């Protein structure tokens, strides 16, 4: 047990901090789920990539800088500390990238990873279908072999970032006679080819963060398949593990929210109930617990361990903490809690309301928390199915 | 930066776990409830043979010379076994306190603690009762906020307070200070009390983890075997989800306890806040586990005969011990709102843990 950063880690932190202080945009960017915001975010990602900071744990040849996972945690801490923009290509950098690293052929890695790092290609996720939500093995969209191509027919839905993305990754049924999680393949699909129609869906917050994607005999090269044909389920599970587990929601995000919540409490302390004050403190403790558990997990992974079902513990913890913090923020805002930013009396409300709405999606996306609880019960605790 | 225990430390923990599984069964714990002291000299002697009472006693005084980092692993196992012996008082709090007091008192008592020949209990100005005073050979007791006395039990009047957990033996302790001189006073005594409270609370937090884990194990075993509507009740989501919630609470409490142990071991500036975070999260997890374990067991869990209540009582009593939740929450709150505890991204290990 050694809870001190090495001189190398400290130097890395200092370097990242200096770069971010000099480069983070002074004005917040627009939402990446709007056309103008997406353009601004792509420009920011290009700058990050040019400096080698787009995805520090990736190998240098793919646009990273060969950092280890601990340095990645440090990078994230500095990134949130600096108030840098959210990542438009989080599907690509946090989820697909590591999956390509594990399952991709050398030519797939060379083709896709650098453009993920630079966000020249922004990715959407294609898991859910109208009849395959929590029950993802019910996927029915087919990708049938025709020579060197798959011909895709069917529909994906709730494709995050779908409205402004260039590509989509997801699971398709390559063996039409197969059932459940057999006969599925993990395929990378450009969204600008004939036979693909993207229909943005307005979300609870009014923006078009996700989309429906219709496939009408869209033809995709077989070379776009990641992993073996029919083995897509296990490839997808590795992506899901990254998503719920480590990458998607680094602890810095929640530590930053907790810190801002304490500031909000200070600004509104005169009107705050003791119960709210104490809950704010407990949220700081919970964010700290999440950080400590992540350092423990990363230490284990650096020593050769893997993330398995325990990713489900993570997902429940951060998603519920996020809601709790945002609910408290609204309590502290009191009469101003439901004001939109353009309301004349909205001074000091920040983006808590929007972020509250987004926090409510946490227990739904990346596998509902009910599914995560089943996984914990069956695969960690060993309860019967 | 490496947040992992070494193989040797993990081996030590599993050795103690196996030892307690054999020597401290639920039958043993229950049998002790029927005795006047609820403590077993024989079991304490066996624990001394494997070095447990002297865990934090320096090797020069016959102890194992370990730190709080290892102590929390052992204490987690004590919680898992619902061990009733005075591990918190004598091994986790008194031994390092005597080490810090030093002098003749330390050289007289530390070897005896390590050998399992003496038990030392510790009082604190903020706490109304002294744990394990009834079996202590020496008591380290406060007078006011800033004077610490060392007294043989014969010169202390103990008023025992029967409590919910028959294993928890606490007493109000009174003594005449006129005849004896304090072993520490003023700022030194305050520092010793603060250190004692941190170590006591940390030890309770570690035990709470073990109790929590044991209640989960018992519940999983019961829910897997008990059948209703033709299926094990553990196959129903309502039962699964309750237990999953307790598992989440446990897994996010453990690293908080381990970090607090590291902070106490190295005397980090933020140790008091870290200990209070540990006490809060671990006792919360144990309380939740007690709640869902009872629900999962149903009526059988509400009986005296079923073993579950050994750990439920332990969980409740640990929450009462060495500072209740409001006390520890106030300490964390003061550190954040009025003190200098850094928060936000990058602050967790800032300036050393």
ipTM of the complex as predicted? 0.96
Best residue of B292, B329, B346, B349 to probe chain A, by most A CBs closer than 10 Å: B346
Angle subtended by helix axes A274-302 and A251-267, to nearest 10: 160
Nearest Cα residue in chain A from B5: A1
Q: Is residue A97 part of a domain?
A: no
How far is CA B181 from each of CA A82, A383, B143, B153, B192, rounded to the nearest angstrom?
A: 56, 60, 11, 16, 16
Q: Closest partner residue to A374 among B9, B240, B332, by Cβ?
A: B240
Burial of B103 (0-12, 13-18, 19+ CB in 10 A): exposed
Nearest Cα residue in chain A from B351: A4
Question: Taking Cα atoms as reference points, which of B45, B88, B38, B96 lies closest to residue B67?
Answer: B96
Q: Is B255 on the interface with A (CB under 8 A)?
A: yes
- Per-residue pLDDT at B53 exceeds 90: yes
Q: Closest partner residue to A1 among B69, B232, B333, by Cβ?
A: B69
Of A90-99, A197-206, A235-244, A286-295, which range is least confident? Answer: A235-244
Q: Are the C-beta atoms of residues B131 and B92 closer than 8 Å to each other?
A: no
Question: Taking Cα atoms as reference points, which of B258, B260, B318 lies closest to residue B289?
Answer: B318
Domain-ending residue, one of A88, A111, A140: A88
Q: Closest partner residue to A258 among B220, B280, B343, by Cβ?
A: B343
- Name the pTM for this structure: 0.96
Per the structure, how many domains does chain A have? 3
Euclidean distance between CA atoms B226 and B247, whole angstroms? 20
Nearest Cα residue in chain B from A17: B346
At A126, is the secondary structure helix, strand, or coil?
Answer: strand
Q: Is residue A2 part of a domain?
A: no
Average pLDDT of the residues in B232-246: 98
Q: Is B349 on the interface with A (CB under 8 A)?
A: yes
Give pLDDT, residue A244.
56
Which chain B residues are closer than 8 Å to A20 by Cβ?
A: none
Give pLDDT, residue B257.
98
- Per-residue pLDDT at A314 exceeds 70: yes
Which chain A residues are closer than 8 Å to B342 by Cβ?
A: none
Tens of pLDDT along B68-82? 999 999 999 999 999
Average pLDDT of the residues in B9-18: 97
Average pLDDT of the residues in A218-234: 97
Euclidean distance between CA atoms B272 and A63, whole angstroms? 43
Average pLDDT of the residues in A12-22: 98
At A227, is the secondary structure helix, strand, or coil?
Answer: coil
Superfamily name with CATH number, domain B194-338: Butyryl-CoA Dehydrogenase, subunit A, domain 3 (1.20.140.10)
B255/A296 Cβ within 8 A: yes
Sequence ranges of the domains in chain B:
194-338
Instruction: Give percent above pLDDT 90 in chain B.
Output: 97
Q: How far is B309 from chain A (nearest CA, A)?
A: 21
Tens of pLDDT along B87-99? 999 999 999 999 9
Q: How far is B107 from chain A (nearest CA, A)?
A: 30
Q: Tokens representing A375?
A: 């996984």
Q: Is residue A110 part of a domain?
A: no
Give pLDDT, residue B353.
43
B247/A3 Cβ within 8 A: no
Residues A254, A222: one domain? no
Phi-psi region of B283 (alpha: psi -120 to 50; beta: other; left: phi over 0): alpha
A376/B329 Cβ within 8 A: no
- Per-residue pLDDT at B162 exceeds 60: yes
A81/B346 Cβ within 8 A: yes
Residues A189, A264: one domain? no
Q: Tokens representing A294?
A: 């992540």
- Per-residue pLDDT at A242 exceeds 80: no
Give pLDDT, residue A309.
86
Average pLDDT of the residues in A238-249: 69
Residues A69, A27: one domain? yes
Of A40-44, A240-244, B35-39, B338-342, which range is least confident? Answer: A240-244
Interface of B with A in 319-348 (CB under 8 A): 329, 332-333, 336-337, 343-348
Q: Output b/e per residue, B250-283; b: 16+ Cβ within 10 A.
A: bbbbbbbbbbbbbbbbeebebbbbbbbbbbbbbb
Residues A372, A303: one domain? yes
Give pLDDT, residue A245.
64
Average pLDDT of the residues in A295-309: 90
Residue range(s) defining the domain that contains residue A296: 249-380
Tens of pLDDT along A252-269? 999 999 999 999 999 999
Euclidean distance between CA atoms A114 and A51, whole angstroms? 13
Which chain A residues are closer than 8 Å to B222 by Cβ?
A: none
Best residue of B10, B228, B274, B345 to probe chain A, by most A CBs closer than 10 Å: B345
Average pLDDT of the residues in B206-210: 98
What DSSP character marks residue A84? P
Q: Is B197 on the interface with A (CB under 8 A)?
A: no
Radius of gyration of chain B (CA): 20
Q: Are the C-beta atoms of residues A163 and A198 closer than 8 Å to each other?
A: yes
Q: Closest partner residue to A78 among B235, B346, B349, by Cβ?
A: B346
Name every residue whose Cβ is closer than 8 Å to that of residue A37 and which is 6 or more positions away in sequence.
A29, A30, A31
At A268, is the secondary structure helix, strand, or coil?
Answer: coil
Q: Closest partner residue to A278 among B329, B346, B352, by Cβ?
A: B329
Instruction: Check residues A307 and B119 and name the one with the higher pLDDT.
Output: B119
Average pLDDT of the residues in B258-274: 97
Average pLDDT of the residues in A166-183: 96
Q: Is residue A341 part of a domain?
A: yes
Phi-psi region of B106 (alpha: psi -120 to 50; beta: other; left: phi over 0): alpha
Tell me how many helices (H) and strands (E) chain A has. 12, 8
A5/B247 Cβ within 8 A: no
Euclidean distance between CA atoms A159 and A153, whole angstroms? 16
Which chain A residues are closer than 8 Å to B250 by Cβ?
A: none
Q: Is residue A13 part of a domain?
A: yes
Residues A148, A214: one domain? yes
Give pLDDT, residue B351.
60
Interface of B with A in 127-186 (CB under 8 A): none
Which chain A residues are closer than 8 Å to B254 by Cβ?
A: 293
Chain centre distance of CA A222: 27
Which chain B residues are closer than 8 Å to A381 by Cβ?
A: 216, 220, 240, 243-244, 247
* Mean pLDDT, all residues of chain A: 94
Q: Closest partner residue to B244 among A4, A282, A373, by Cβ?
A: A373
Q: Is residue A343 part of a domain?
A: yes
B241/A289 Cβ within 8 A: no
Average pLDDT of the residues in A277-306: 95
Average pLDDT of the residues in B262-290: 97
B347/A377 Cβ within 8 A: no
Residues A284, A346: one domain? yes
Question: Taking Cα atoms as reference points, which of A38, A23, A158 lies closest to residue A86?
Answer: A38
Tens of pLDDT along B303-352? 999 999 999 999 999 999 999 999 999 999 999 999 889 999 999 998 64
Residues of A forming the active site: 243
Q: Are the C-beta atoms of residues A281 and B336 closer than 8 Å to each other?
A: yes
B3/A281 Cβ within 8 A: no
Residues A205, A166: one domain? yes
Q: Is residue A117 part of a domain?
A: no
Residues A258, A353: one domain? yes
- Per-residue pLDDT at A237 exceeds 90: no
Q: What is the CATH number of the domain that holds A130?
A: 2.40.110.10
């Amino acid at each position: 047990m050694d809870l001190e950063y090495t001189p190398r880690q400290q130097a890395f932190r200092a370097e990242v901090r200096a770069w971010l202080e000099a480069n983070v945009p002074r004005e917040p960017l627009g939402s990446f789920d709007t056309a103008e915001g997406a353009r601004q975010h792509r420009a920011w990602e290009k700058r990050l990539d040019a400096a080698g900071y787009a995805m520090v744990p990736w190998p240098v040849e793919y646009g990273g800088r060969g950092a280890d996972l601990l340095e990645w945690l440090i990078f994230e801490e500095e990134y949130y500390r600096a108030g840098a923009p959210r990542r438009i290509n989080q599907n690509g950098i946090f989820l697909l990238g590591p999956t390509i690293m594990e399952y991709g052929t050398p030519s797939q890695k060379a083709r896709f990873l650098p453009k993920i790092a630079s966000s020249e290609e922004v990715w959407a996720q294609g898991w859910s279908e109208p009849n395959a939500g929590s029950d993802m093995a019910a996927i029915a969209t087919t990708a049938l072999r025709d020579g060197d191509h798959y011909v895709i027919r069917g529909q994906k839905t709730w494709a995050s970032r779908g409205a402004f993305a260039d590509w989509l990754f997801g699971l398709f049924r390559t063996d039409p006679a197969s059932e459940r999680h057999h006969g599925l393949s993990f395929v990378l699909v450009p969204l600008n080819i004939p036979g693909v129609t993207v229909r943005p869906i307005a979300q609870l917050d009014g923006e078009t963060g996700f989309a429906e994607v219709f496939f009408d005999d869209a033809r995709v090269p077989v070379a776009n398949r990641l992993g073996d044909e029919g083995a897509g389920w296990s490839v997808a599970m590795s992506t899901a593990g990254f998503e719920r587990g480590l990458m998607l929601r680094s602890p810095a995000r929640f530590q930053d929210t907790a810190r801002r919540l304490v500031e909000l409490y200070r600004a509104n302390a005169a009107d705050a109930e003791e119960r709210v004050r104490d809950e704010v403190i407990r949220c700081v403790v919970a964010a700290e617990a999440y950080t400590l558990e992540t350092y423990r997990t990363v230490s284990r992974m650096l020593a050769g361990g893997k993330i398995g079902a325990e990713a489900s513990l993570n997902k429940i913890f951060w998603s519920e903490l996020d809601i709790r913090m945002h609910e408290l923020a609204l309590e502290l805002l009191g009469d101003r809690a439901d004001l939109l930013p353009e309301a004349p009396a909205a001074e000091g409300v920040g983006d808590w309301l929007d972020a509250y709405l987004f926090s409510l999606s946490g227990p739904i996306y990346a596998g509902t928390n009910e599914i995560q609880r089943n996984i914990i019960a069956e695969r960690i605790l060993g309860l019967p199915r | 930066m490496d947040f992992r225990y070494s193989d040797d430390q993990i081996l030590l923990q599993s050795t103690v776990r196996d030892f307690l599984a054999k020597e401290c069964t639920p039958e043993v714990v229950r049998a002790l409830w029927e005795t006047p002291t609820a403590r077993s000299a024989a079991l304490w002697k066996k624990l001394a043979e494997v070095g447990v009472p002297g865990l934090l006693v320096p090797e020069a005084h016959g102890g194992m010379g370990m730190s709080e980092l290892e102590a929390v692993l052992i204490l987690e196992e004590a919680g898992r076994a619902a061990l009733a012996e005075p591990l918190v008082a004598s091994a986790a709090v008194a031994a390092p306190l005597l080490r810090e007091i030093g002098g003749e008192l330390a050289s007289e008592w530390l070897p005896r603690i390590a050998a399992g020949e003496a038990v030392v209990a510790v009082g604190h100005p903020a706490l109304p009762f002294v744990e394990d005073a009834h079996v202590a050979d020496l008591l380290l007791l406060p007078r006011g906020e800033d004077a610490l006395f060392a007294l043989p039990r014969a010169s202390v009047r103990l008023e025992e307070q029967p409590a919910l957990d028959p294993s928890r033996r606490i007493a109000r302790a009174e003594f005449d200070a006129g005849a004896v001189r304090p072993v520490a006073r003023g700022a030194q005594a305050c520092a010793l009390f603060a250190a004692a409270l941190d170590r006591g609370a940390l030890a309770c937090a570690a035990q709470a983890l073990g109790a929590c884990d044991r209640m989960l194990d018992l519940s999983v075993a019961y829910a897997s075997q008990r059948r209703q509507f033709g299926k094990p009740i553990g196959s129903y989501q309502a039962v699964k989800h309750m237990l999953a919630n307790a598992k989440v609470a446990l897994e996010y409490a453990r690293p908080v306890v381990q970090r607090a142990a590291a902070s106490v071991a190295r005397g980090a500036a933020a140790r008091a806040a870290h200990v209070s975070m540990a006490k809060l999260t671990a006792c919360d997890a144990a309380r939740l586990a007690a709640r869902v374990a009872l629900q999962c067991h149903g009526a059988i869990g509400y009986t005296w005969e079923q073993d579950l209540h050994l750990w439920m009582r332990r969980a409740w009593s640990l929450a009462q011990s060495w500072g209740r939740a409001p006390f520890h929450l106030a300490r964390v709150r003061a550190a954040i709102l009025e003190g200098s505890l850094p928060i936000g991204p990058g602050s967790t290990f800032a300036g050393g843990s």
